[in-house]
Structure 1
């Protein structure tokens, strides 16, 4: 066992045994700092997996601490089983060291009044514990403290079907968020049940309207490359001259690969796994998928190269790549190659979208 591996295991054990939110925060800071130190010397996918292990350990332990807090404060144990689930980059196992809250809660059956009362308080307290452990609230309020993302399997199914019937931009965005869900803590059977519901709801073969709506949402974020092949940077504001890695490169790849995965019935939420399974299914020419993977590797690496700030020991960062980093020859080359790949991806999707709109109008 290498020295670095031993440190990581010790830090994860400290996270998993933390007996208070304060100790959980301290243990996370130790592991976060060690991972940041290792980043330049570890392959990006391997490093990203280690980051995901840290976040999973922190979030899972936060659930346990929340249950203990509820009992100590007289609320008793959970009145039914529950599953704590992640969405967004956490659902795809693609978080940076700095990450906000994108989560939800699947609750089991039971006395409706008791279940709702308990988990309303539970959700509020778990949100607070996670915030103390370094996860700020989701700007879009995709959190278990929001009743929209806290329900039984049947409740979620009704909500998903309503979104599918409406198919407005916001409803389709919510369906895309749900399709990236992943189990974190609690009863895995509930998460598995919700995954089955999502799969049924998202089956596209017999619903051309859903296919067209997903395509419309997918092609909204395009590659930040102009017709001259130049990288598009921010024109004004505090980030003028900097590159928006998240929305200029990372999100376009995530969205495009997600669309292809849904089209072929792939259940995995990880972008890397989705690309691998598309390769196995021979759904897309292999040379394209190899380009997608290289571009995605670059996107994940560049997200973690945005300069961090240290706030009371916790790292945080914007999703903008500064000019100093962009001027590095290798970074500039990788960025342009990746954006060129994304542009080709989106040309293909735009052709599909135009065909779908003409065919099903």
Structure 2
């Protein structure tokens, strides 16, 4: 069935002339997508949501240039690429996802380069907040020096991460592996991606370190097959969709894709490629079904809007858990998460044994 006539019009976002127009267009598109959630397949709905986010982010990058020029910074002194990480890099953002992005700046010399992009990174992140995107609590944003670098600086950073197998550098490398181009000079993102993939091929020990990070996750189903909910706090009785089912699947599939040299960032596309390499693998088929359930549940998680900024709790309210069809799907997905986790734990055990 086709739903093209129901798809939101993105032209208003694409050609917004000011931050005020862009905010209004994002809000109108947001309301349309909220209504479409009930009638569209989750994959199509998620794709439309991320089309909106991509268009808003790309237009925000341009408007930031205009606004900096208007206050005396002039145009960008050298080319740059504005890129996405996290769920945005995987095109899996919900309507309420926060910011996850960075800058890849040309290595061309210019005396104003550092000053300009320092201001530009902060300005763009603040503009995105004005447009309704909550700032990343982990500070994965182009306003931060760690995620705003020249191409050569990025190469040195990636090499540095590969030399340290502790938790934080490995986590940063995992985040970076989901990089996707949004706006600016595409060739910079392509060069970054090529270097990143080459460095992964040259570092089998890092793949094992990523596996070590991947198998750490909270228990979300007990030995009786019951869903484990939050025990305390404001979400007591609710289920943590993000860290209970979504992130474990994302991390597991990312690890398998990196091990096979798959360059896709989308989790579903990674699964498609993995399935082509290992047809008939029931675990991969189960992962695909579980992941679609995870996307559906993430979109149903509770959210708030405060001063125009959208924010999701990542929790499924306990009232939703009383719906038996949903609960059955969740249990089925958690069973897949558990089996995948065990399979990866065995891989890690064999990998660690080979190192002895």
Shared fold, TM over 0.5: yes
Secondary structure in 2 matching 1:189: helix
Question: What is the CA deviation profile of residues 123-154 of structure 1, one whole-angstrom value per residue up to 9, with x for unaligned ones?
Answer: 11111111100111110111101111111221
Measure the CA separation in 1 of the matches of 2:292 and 2:198. 31
CA distance in 1, matches of 2:308, 2:155: 41
Q: State the match for 2:319 in structure 1.
A: 324
Alignment of 1:97 onto 2:92: no
Per-residue CA distance 1:188-238 (angstroms, 9 max, x = gap): 11111111111012126xx44323211110011255111111111101111
Matched, 1:336 2:331: yes
Match of 2:180 in 1: 182
CA offset at residue 307 of structure 1? 2.5
Q: How does 1:158-237 map to 2 (within 5 A)?
A: 158-203=156-201, 207-222=203-218, 224-237=220-233
Please name the residue that 1:254 is paired with. Answer: 250
The answer on whether the counterparts of 2:207 and 2:258 sit within 8 Å (CA) in structure 1 is no
Cα offset, 1:50, TM superposition = 0.3
- Is it true that 1:300 corresponds to 2:295 in the alignment? yes
Instruction: Determine whether 1:358 maps to 2:356.
Output: no
3-state secondary structure, aligned to 2:229: coil
Q: Is this contact kept in 2: 1:104–1:144, CA < 8 A? A: yes
- Following superposition, the deviation at residue 42 of structure 1 comes to 0.6
User: Structure 1, unaligned stretches of length 5 or more?
Assistant: none
**What secondary structure does 1:41 align onto?**
coil
Tell me the SS of whatever aligns to 2:37: helix
Task: Give the drift of 1:356.
Answer: 1.1
Which secondary structure does the structure 2 equivalent of 1:151 belong to? strand
Deviation at residue 15 of structure 1 after TM alignment:
0.9
Matches of 2:190 and 2:243 in 1, distance apart? 30
Q: Secondary structure at the match of 2:81?
A: strand
CA contact (8 A) 2:8 2:29 kept: no
Tell me, in whole angstroms, the C-alpha distance in 1 between the residues paired with 2:59 and 2:16: 7
State the Cα distance separating 1:311 from its structure 2 match: 3.2
Q: CA deviation at 1:9?
A: 4.5
Assess, with a 3 A threshold, how the Cα gap between structure 1 residues 208 and 53 changes in structure 2: closer, same or farther.
closer
Cα deviations by residue, 1:282-306 (Å, 9 ceiling, x for unpaired): 2x64322211111000001000111
| Rounded Cα–Cα distance in structure 1 between residues aligned with 2:92 and 2:80 | 24
Deviates more, 1:45-54 or 1:113-122: 113-122
Give the distance between the partners of 2:72 and 2:6, measured in 1 at CA.
Answer: 38
Q: 1:44 aligned to 2:42?
A: yes
Report the Cα distance in structure 2 between the residues aligned to 1:15 and 1:311, rounded to whole angstroms: 22
Structure 2 equivalent of residue 291 of structure 1 = 286
Give the Cα separation in 1 of the matches to 2:218 and 2:301. Answer: 21
After TM superposition, give the deviation of residue 182 of structure 1 in Å. 0.3
d(CA) in 1 for partners of 2:206 and 2:307? Answer: 46
Give the whole-Å Cα distance in 2 for the aligned partners of 1:173 and 1:309.
Answer: 28
Structure 1 range deviating more: 347-356 or 108-117:
108-117
Q: Give the secondary-structure state (helix, strand or coil) at the position aligned to 1:40.
A: coil
Which of 229-238 and 243-252 deviates more?
229-238
For residues 17 and 8 of structure 1, what CA distance do their matches in structure 2 show? 18
Q: Is the 8 A contact 1:222 1:346 kept in 2?
A: no
